[in-house]
Structure 1
Amino acid sequence: MYIRDIIQVLEAFAPPSYQEHYDNAGLIFGNPDAAVTGVLLTLDATEAVMDEALEKGCNLVVAHHPIVFGGLKKITGRNYVERVAIKAIRHDIAVYAAHTNLDNVRGGVSAMMAARLDLQHTRVLAPKRELLRKLYTFAPVADAEIVRNALFAAGAGHIGQYGECSFYHPGTGTFNGAPGTDPYVGQPGERHHEEEIKIEVIFPAHLEGRVVSAMLQHHPYEEVAYDVVKLENAYAEVGSGLVGSLPEAMDEMDFLRLVKERFLTGCVRYTPLRNKKVKKVALCGGAGSFLLKQAKAAGADAYISADFKYHEFFDAENQLIIADVGHFESEQFAVDLFYHILTENFRKFAPLKSTINTNPVNYL
């Protein structure tokens, strides 16, 4: 098994194209063609984690947070980022990060948070736009189903919880093959009229190469007419945060105690209570104050996230309860998600969860 095999599986779940513009997800250090001796899973690739990887014979560290966000102009060991870089390179340890792409994917970090509270009927709180494409192509009637099935198999045709979505429309196509062509129907040098089916399917942008390749492989024509169009639509399956419902409505303090217990945190900072039951809950891993407006618009009774500043607590305006559980605490279960993804795809390979608590915040 090679490092690239691990990366391929992780990026099939959380495509790099889903990350935010400021992010640096992906392979940060290392050779993707190196054989894997062991994989260590962590939230942060700290110096202590690198030492643990060395001790356990792991040459790949998979982290949620990228150890390098901006460019490194010098690597002299003057801070922990540079010291990790030196240690990784010196000992041939690859470091890979899945960050905001893992946050934005439907079953990602926020889904792990939702599972801690048994939230039901969840949906993405702030879906991302411009991640969808639509393919139009035209196939002879007898071959249209073959082409359509190939598109479905390549990942096209999913809308929300529905699969194999497409649109068929009959029409007549014309073409005139130049000398030397080998048309599927008709003769070179003669205009041919063919009863065709127009096929329309939608697909995520990162699958474009695979979808177009499948169409070309299964289409009978020597030259295939098709269009790929960028859509402005929000992609309901990808975006920041989730909102869902508790199995039963809870008193506010009972809810906050549950949050503290389930997120294994030493402190929950929260806004004034509203003397109402908590039923609908919004949440987002990491620094999530930017989603407060969406949480209120969704009608959430509580919003669980981290890194709220003092004045941002006022923005709740008694419309919901903000529950700040801490950055590490909100994202710690990303390690369990990494473990699940890899063990599901590599049944005879066991990644290791780091035993290092990388949380830089302590509570008295």
Structure 2
Amino acid sequence: MILRDLIGVLEKLIPAGMQESYDNTGLQIGNTGEEVTRALICMDVTMGVLEEAVTQKCDLVISHHPMIFKPIKKLDFGNEQGLLIAFAVKHNLAVYSMHTSIDKYRFGVSYALARKLNLENIQTLKPEEGVLRKLVTFCPSAQAPALRNALFSAGAGHIGNYDSCSFNIEGEGSFRALEGTNPYVGKQGELHSEKETRIEVAFPDWNKTSVIKSLLANHPYEEVAYDIYPLENSLHTAGLGAVGYLKKAMGANDFLSSLQSCFGNMPLKYCTHEKMIKRVAVCGGSGASLLGTAVSVGADAYITGDIKYHDFQAASGKILLADAGHYETEIQVLQVIKELISEKIPTFATLISETNTNFVKYLK
């Protein structure tokens, strides 16, 4: 399969534009015009992972964490990053990273963690804000259905668990084609009226390029009239973290024991309170910034990684807070990536890396 086509499939589901502003999700290294036949899926790009890719005859590595996170000002083949780049180039390995895009994906990192904890009625903990837009355009009524379908295919018209959502009003548009034009209807120099449909569809900002490209390619007029409005609505199908319910309320100690068992009896850092645990919030990776959100949505417990001392202090008496590890709360996403590719491209081979890239070790 051509690499750009595979990336296109992934980014139709999980656009790179979803990523946080500080991130570097997307292609890290490689030629998008080359064919790839087999992918190794991993958390981090290390020399061990790249060597595993070569051994397993993989020509593509799909990682969660970016191989290149900060801008490179020089290539020094004597340091770790330079060695990784040199090895990838030498062995013709492409590297693609999904990081905060799949963190925000509705069924991504935190959803997988919530499923691991057997939570039910899982929803996004912190939905995306300020990313929704509304497109309004005007199309000859006979061509409106085809244009709507094209906009839906480009990523517009999704509201919650519904797709193909639009609002349509029949009306009449007027225009005069001036010299040098080639009007679809009407004649140059004559005022023309046309029965038109006003089409309204919502879309997230990261789909703007594809939506407008589709609009211009499929609208019959050579001069397309359209408006884009910002919306204040939250986008509940994307965002960070997840929150759901245990099947049965548990005491704090029983919940912690169950949590520890779920993570292979690894040591847990936590602060607790006396409240029964029923509603549980999670965020894979570093989620201390969502502690206040977890409290505000009424969660009884919050599970994440990279918690600092004063975070525990802030949680004390308000919520059970547990640090289950950065790596441990994200590793489930590798299976998510594998299943996504298998579902969309059944003939493309994928492997989950057997190289443990967790840099944190525990003394038991």
1:62 Cα deviation (Å)?
Answer: 1.0
1:181 Cα deviation (Å)?
Answer: 4.5
Contact 1:265 1:325 in 2 (8 A): no
Q: Which residue of 1 aligns with 2:160?
A: 160
Q: Distance in 2 between matches of 1:243 and 1:86?
A: 42
1:65 Cα deviation (Å)?
Answer: 0.7
1:105 Cα deviation (Å)?
Answer: 1.3
What amino acid is aligned across from residue 84 of structure 1 in structure 2? L
TM-score (norm 1): 0.92
1:135 Cα deviation (Å)?
Answer: 0.9
Identity over aligned residues, as a percent?
A: 44
- In structure 2, the CA distance between the partners of 1:360 and 1:265, relative to structure 1 (3 Å rule), is farther
1:77 Cα deviation (Å)?
Answer: 4.4
Q: 226-235 or 304-313: which moved more?
A: 226-235
Matched, 1:45 2:45: yes
Render the CA deviation track for 1:203-246: whole Å, top value 9, x for unaligned.
12233333334434443434321122343443222211111112
Contact 1:116 1:263 in 2 (8 A): no
RMSD between superposed Cα atoms in Å: 2.1
Matched, 1:98 2:111: no
Structure 1: tracts of 5 or more residues without a match: none
Q: Which residue of 2 aligns with 1:352?
A: 351
Matches within 5 A, 1:18-97: 18-97=18-97
Matched position secondary structure for 2:24: coil
Matches within 5 A, 1:212-223: 212-223=212-223
Q: Which residue of 1 aligns with 2:260?
A: 260
1:179 Cα deviation (Å)?
Answer: 4.8
Q: Which residue of 1 aligns with 2:342?
A: 343
Matched position secondary structure for 2:150: helix
- In structure 2, the CA distance between the partners of 1:85 and 1:167, relative to structure 1 (3 Å rule), is same
Contact 1:265 1:326 in 2 (8 A): no
Q: Which residue of 1 aligns with 2:198?
A: 198
1:294 Cα deviation (Å)?
Answer: 0.5
Q: Distance in 2 between matches of 1:166 and 1:37?
A: 39
Contact 2:150 2:214 in 1 (8 A): yes
Matched position secondary structure for 1:264: coil
- In structure 2, the CA distance between the partners of 1:268 and 1:11, relative to structure 1 (3 Å rule), is same
TM-score (norm 2): 0.92
Matched position secondary structure for 2:240: strand
Contact 2:338 2:350 in 1 (8 A): yes
Matches within 5 A, 1:1-364: 1-179=1-179, 181-264=181-264, 266-272=266-272, 274-363=273-362, 364=364
Q: Distance in 1 between matches of 2:3 and 2:216?
A: 31
Runs of 4+, deviation exceeding 4 Å: 179-182
Render the CA deviation track for 1:102-137: whole Å, top value 9, x for unaligned.
101111101110111222222221222332221111
- In structure 2, the CA distance between the partners of 1:166 and 1:266, relative to structure 1 (3 Å rule), is same
What amino acid is aligned across from residue 282 of structure 2 in structure 1? L
Matched position secondary structure for 1:315: helix
What amino acid is aligned across from residue 227 of structure 1 in structure 2? D
Structure 2: tracts of 5 or more residues without a match: none
- In structure 2, the CA distance between the partners of 1:6 and 1:149, relative to structure 1 (3 Å rule), is closer
